[in-house]
Amino acid sequence: MAKFSAIKEHVYNKIASGEWPENHPVSSENALASQFKVSRMTARRALQELADEGIVIRTKGSGTFVAPIKSQTSFMAIRNIADEIRSRQHDYASQVHVLRRQVASELIAEMLNIAAGDEVYLSVISHFENDLPVQVEERYVNPKLAPDYLKQDYHSLTPHEYLCEVQPLTEASHQIEAVAPSQQLCQWLHLSKPEPCLRIHRRTWSAKGVVTYAVLTHPGSRFSLGGHLQF
């Protein structure tokens, strides 16, 4: 393991174990450099990557602190939301609102590379972290590529898990926007009043074509995007 990765793993473990709760101070660059016998630059890189991922908050003159606990994901990666939540040692659950066949509108047909009027599968599911919904997933599926999609129990597995099994992911595209939630979304997200939400439009491909078009909506107070690029 690279030295800076060992520092990151150390911080992850402190947070996951509960030893370092929200807003707990994180060891300084100098302290980490001494503890792991690395340069201060290496320690700084580790802390900066953790900050980029939203795990810690760095404030000039004050130090580094554990970030408030809210859902975090990387806009550069496609991960199973259940795995993300469980990796934070939190409880995952789901609620299925819609699971049905319907006719593809022009927009959905364009997203799936099919003809308008063709049949598509639709699922709408809320994903929960510690009893609070952090995402409403509205997913349109090409039936030709996942014919048994509607037969699955999405309380015991996620659509992502099932689709990766039957049509392994080869390509994806994302569009991200801020939106005001509808009354229905407020109900599904358990919002007592509307608040800004982050919405991700995602298309995924397998070797056989476009498999799904998903609209993922998250309440801004419970979700953040983060990532780190290395060149």
Q: How far is CA 162 from the centre of its chain?
A: 17
What secondary structure letter does DSSP report for 180?
P
In angstroms, the CA 71 to CA 48 distance is: 19
In one-letter notation, the amino acid at residue 209 is G
In one-letter notation, the amino acid at residue 89 is Q
In angstroms, the CA 17 to CA 29 distance is: 22
In angstroms, the CA 144 to CA 158 distance is: 19
pLDDT in tens, the chain (231 residues): 678 889 998 998 888 788 998 889 999 999 999 999 999 999 998 998 888 777 888 887 889 999 876 555 555 567 789 988 888 888 999 999 999 999 999 999 999 999 999 999 999 999 999 999 999 999 999 999 999 999 999 999 999 999 988 998 888 888 889 999 999 999 999 999 999 999 999 999 988 999 999 999 999 988 776 655 454
In angstroms, the CA 54 to CA 176 distance is: 18
In angstroms, the CA 54 to CA 64 distance is: 12
Q: How far is CA 39 from the centre of its chain?
A: 33
- What domains can you pick out in the chain, each with its CATH number? 3-66 (1.10.10.10), 78-225 (3.40.1410.10)
Phi, psi of 7 (to 5 degrees): -65, -45
The H-or-E segment that residue 211 falls in is strand 209-219
In DSSP notation, 67-112 reads PP--EEEETT----HHHHHHHTT--EEEEEEEEEEEE--HHHHHHH
**What end-to-end distance do the CA atoms of the chain give, in Å?**
19
In angstroms, the CA 99 to CA 122 distance is: 6
Question: Which region, left, alpha or beta, applies to residue 23 given φ > 0 means left and ψ of -120 to 50 means alpha?
Answer: left
The set of residues, in sequence order, having a beta carbon less than 8 Å from that of 208 and lying 6+ positions away, is 145, 167
In angstroms, the CA 3 to CA 37 distance is: 9
